[in-house]
Amino acid sequence: MRPLGKRGQGLVEFALVVPILLLLLIGIAEFGRAWMTRNILTGAAREAVRLAAVAPPGGSISAATARGRTVLDSAGLTTASIGIDDPGVAFGTVTATATFNYPVTVANFIPGLKGTSLSLSSTTSMRREY
């Protein structure tokens, strides 16, 4: 039998450690979600820039933007944006940039950090094939 002064010690230690452990676990999951979102942005930028790079100079940039938009929308990133920078010269470098304001969910558990978001972006460049 435990001495009278030691009763409940395990419960107090558990109550002190659990919030830190839960915050760490939620943070790991949040990092995974952010990494996945960044990969989706990279995929959308690659799709858009590839379509723009194979089009003749002065070709349809709107089709390339629509392709990137399709990738973003299929992943549920409807508020993400994609832009293409095309110099319009033969064998020039075409660049596509996809950006998204990623809402950090773990910040909602920490007092004073509500509404925090990270700006994630991915840029891809390819040389025009014509």
pLDDT in tens, the chain (130 residues): 566 667 788 889 999 999 999 888 988 999 999 999 999 999 999 999 999 999 876 678 889 999 999 999 999 999 999 999 988 888 889 999 999 999 887 777 677 666 788 899 999 999 988 7
For residues 122 and 128, give the distance between their C-alpha atoms in angstroms, rounded to a whole number.
19
Question: Which pLDDT score is estimated for 2?
Answer: 63
Instruction: Provide the token pair at 107.
Output: 């910040």
Residue 46 lies in a domain: yes
Number of independent structural domains in the chain? 1
Residue 89 lies in a domain: yes
Q: CB-side exposure of 73: number of CA atoms within 13 Å?
A: 6
For residues 70 and 47, give the distance between their C-alpha atoms in angstroms, rounded to a whole number.
10
Residue 2 lies in a domain: no
Residue 62 lies in a domain: yes
Residue 1 lies in a domain: no
Q: Provide the residue range defining the domain that includes 87.
A: 7-127
Question: Which pLDDT score is estimated for 101?
Answer: 95
Question: Which pLDDT score is estimated for 73?
Answer: 97
